Amino acid sequence: MKVLKFGGTSVGTLENIKKVMSIIEDTSKKEEVIIVVSAFGGITDQLLQAGSLAASKDSNFIRIFDTIKMRHIDVASQLNIPETKLKELHAYLNQLEDLLKGVYYINELSPRTTDRLASFGELCSSTIISEALKVKKLKVERKNAIDLIVTLKGGLKGAVNYLITNSKIVDYFSTKTEQITIVPGFVATNETGETTTLGRGGSDFSAAIIAAALEVSQLEIWTDVSGMFTANPNMVKQARPIQSISYQEAMELSHFGAKVLYPPTIVPVMKKNIPIAIKNTFAPEDVGTLITSEASTNGNSVKGLSNIENIALLTLEGTGIVGIPGISKRLFETLSQQLINVILITQASSEHSICIGIINDEAEIARLAVDREFGNEIELGKMNPLLVETDLSIIALVGDKMKNHQGISGKMFSKLGKNNINIRAIAQGASEKNISAVIAKKDVKKALNVLHERFFEDQRKQINLYIAGVGNVGARLLEQIAQQKHYLKEKLNLNLRVIGITNSRTMYFDSDGISLKHWKEHLADGEKTSIEGFHQRIIDLNKRNSVFVDVTANESVAKSYSELLKSSIAVVACNKIACSSEYKQYEALKSLSNQYNAPFFFETNVGAGLPIIDTLNNLMASGDEIISIKAVLSGSLNFVFNNFKEGDSFHDVVKQAQAEGYTEPDPRIDLSGVDVARKILILARESGIQLDLNDVINEPFLTIKNLKSSSVDHFYETLIEDDAHFQKLVSNANANGAQLKYVAQLHDGKLKVGLEEILPNHPFFNLEGKDNIVLFYTNRYNEQPLIIKGAGAGGDVTASGLFSDIIRMRTY
């Protein structure tokens, strides 16, 4: 014999009811079945709403009653139940109407009447399903649970008198002959015969009570999901069904918000060691979840994640608590007298404070009651008034075998900390079956995804990208990401998703990831952008492992890094402004990065895709010391002077460099030496030297007229006007057998940039095209420098450098 329970969604529509009937028919061919059914989906809420309206003298209760009545009659009609078989249904509906009218007339809705009202949902649904199965010529009997389940009068909601209840159930089923018995869930009577209920979710409990009394082979809970999941699938897309789980694990998960199972359901069947199967009405072939006395041996010590929303944290603290017996007793007695359920408890070993978690709606009642109870201590200054924090949630890790694995708590809290999820309180029992943490309600989705990634996925890290600037370099970066997504997943266990993109006009977001094939169209149809709006959206989306990628040269964008880092949002930048601004700002960004566990990478600030900063950092970390640096750090300037020959127009060469994407949109930034000065300044700072941009000696090769040009177009005009000046520079170099190179150097703590004539025996002489080169002279490389050389400009190589910094995030 089996007991099958079908929830409200399973009997929510005509089509669903037909699926339920098919499952009942198939199962009854193999063995005797008892079917426990809930009210049609949404009916219980409508019944309570109608009662509330009636009690407040609002005649709209009749409209809701009519809706309830017509829904049941319509379903019965569509299931081809003859009118002659609906006498009991009509009797229930008439009783319901009379009860609602009585509430309206006396203007009162007592708890007893509320129970009676709520019972009609199950009474009507069970009647309809029973008669519909008879239409299919099945042997069916309906038994009202009011005749079977007895609760304790005046006790806790749903407290069952098992002695009487078990006797009634065994007596009835020992004499019945039908293969199928339909029983309404949720409803019962108390010891004096008054209709009562087992609480919301009580249909599960009804089924468990019957299953335990009869010691059936299995209890099946049929719902709208394929079992209990590793996390709420509405919040964690990667959540998956748990095939097997122990009673204790299931109880922990159900207490902490797993909606597929009403917590008290487990207790009666656990005592009789009866398996519980959670099955999906809409996918009956799915395996679902089997709950037994044994935990599975699948190797994962954490079985599931769960959460409770809308929590308030109450903190009672003060010197008057320390060492005083009875404080906890008084606190919990006070809450008990107010019928307030305590969900979580934690107390500091110093006994200076006690923290408890309750539901938000009861916080004010608790505050008034506790402050009244401890009024004397508060007045004497021995204790503070009760501190109440709201809009919180509890997240929990659950698993029978967590106690056998070291470091579970450490992994949990480390992962949360790295994603800027602040923990307000922690509770962990000695059994270690549940590790709970109180966090802000707004962080729940991120926390669940972070922890699910850590404990249930194949260590494939998901990084969520927000890219500002999708011009030449930004577009190349998006192409590279699209090209390498599959490789990164398969080889590096890294999943990159671009969530937001922006240019100077519009921005576009997709929280599930932007299609990189159509990003241009999406952006064209995006909303009007602003730096503040873009950054605020990143913070509001609150995604785990978020990375902001700055592919602009915008000062306002650079100034926003600090707020992002404070929100534990990593920053990858090719924008040099932030790291070459005032030293205190540079130092503050580095400090914020460490403080909030938010990586701040800017490799492309100096050498596009070349590993210059990374190499320098590795030298410093290994204990080496920088003596001097000499470098050609501008791919654009190197391109210009490699292509500028005596007799050529300097104007034309610069135009060519800009056209090929080797210069900034404003080439004056490159040719004035400001760009190179910023780069050598960043290297000096990474070497540990505190300098600012005005400390860099800049020896310009441009004329005064060039430097004072009012616009880019005007700048090009001055290049033509002063062409003789540039011809002289190249002529002198040729006469000396030298090459012109724009060189940056750090020596004796001083920085200098300027155009130099490089002779043939120097490493810079044969530097071709747009290449960069850096010579590091250190304590270890004091005779022959450490040389880094390669392409230092261009959209592809700069995008590649940004991409490398993004990939480095997988280790954080």
Q: Report the DSSP pairing between strands 195-197 and 187-190.
A: antiparallel
What tokens were used for 443?
């962080």
The reply to whether 566 belongs to the active site is no
Closest CA to 470 of 447, 438, 419, 504: 504
Query: Which residues have a Cβ under 8 Å from the Cβ of 553 and sit 6 or more positions away?
Result: 575, 576, 577, 664, 665, 669
Residue 401 corresponds to which amino acid? K
For the CA atoms of 455, 457, 460, 466, the dihedral, rounded to the nearest 10 degrees, stands at -80
**What is the biggest distance separating any 2 CA atoms in the chain, rounded to whole angstroms?**
118
Alpha-carbon gap, residue 774 to 761, rounded angstroms: 16
Residue 564 corresponds to which amino acid? L
Alpha-carbon gap, residue 673 to 368, rounded angstroms: 68
Q: What is the DSSP string of 557-603?
A: HHHTHHHHHHTT-EEEE---TTTTS-HHHHHHHHHHHHHTT--EE-T
Alpha-carbon separation of residue 571 from 49, 465, 547, 584, 598 (angstroms): 51, 10, 6, 18, 8
Alpha-carbon gap, residue 242 to 229, rounded angstroms: 5
What tokens were used for 723?
């062409």
- Catalytic residue, candidates 279, 401, 679, 770: 679
Closest CA to 238 of 464, 512, 516: 512
Query: Which residues have a Cβ under 8 Å from the Cβ of 467 and sit 6 or more positions away?
Result: 474, 477, 478, 498, 500, 501, 502, 549, 551
Alpha-carbon separation of residue 427 from 391, 394, 396 (angstroms): 18, 10, 9
What's the gap between Cα 154 and its chain centre?
43
Q: What are the respective helix, strand and coil percentages of the chain, to the nearest 5? A: 45, 20, 35
- Which long-range contacts (C-beta less than 8 Å, at least 24 apart) are formed by 486-489? 488/807, 489/460
Alpha-carbon separation of residue 241 from 8, 244, 278, 576, 626 (angstroms): 21, 9, 10, 48, 56
- Cα-Cα end-to-end distance for the chain: 54
Q: Report the DSSP pairing between strands 434-440 and 387-398.
A: antiparallel
CA angle 251, 253, 257 (to 5 degrees): 115
Residue 170 corresponds to which amino acid? V
Alpha-carbon gap, residue 452 to 103, rounded angstroms: 49
What's the gap between Cα 532 and its chain centre?
22
Per residue, the 3-state secondary structure of 292-333, as one string, reads ECCCCCCCCCCCEEEEEEEEEEEEEECCCCCCCCCHHHHHHH
Alpha-carbon gap, residue 771 to 111, rounded angstroms: 82
Alpha-carbon gap, residue 274 to 291, rounded angstroms: 9
SS3 659: helix
For tokens 């949109």, name the residue: 665
Give the DSSP letter of residue 13.
S
Closest CA to 182 of 56, 336, 11, 64: 11
Residues recognised as catalytic: 679
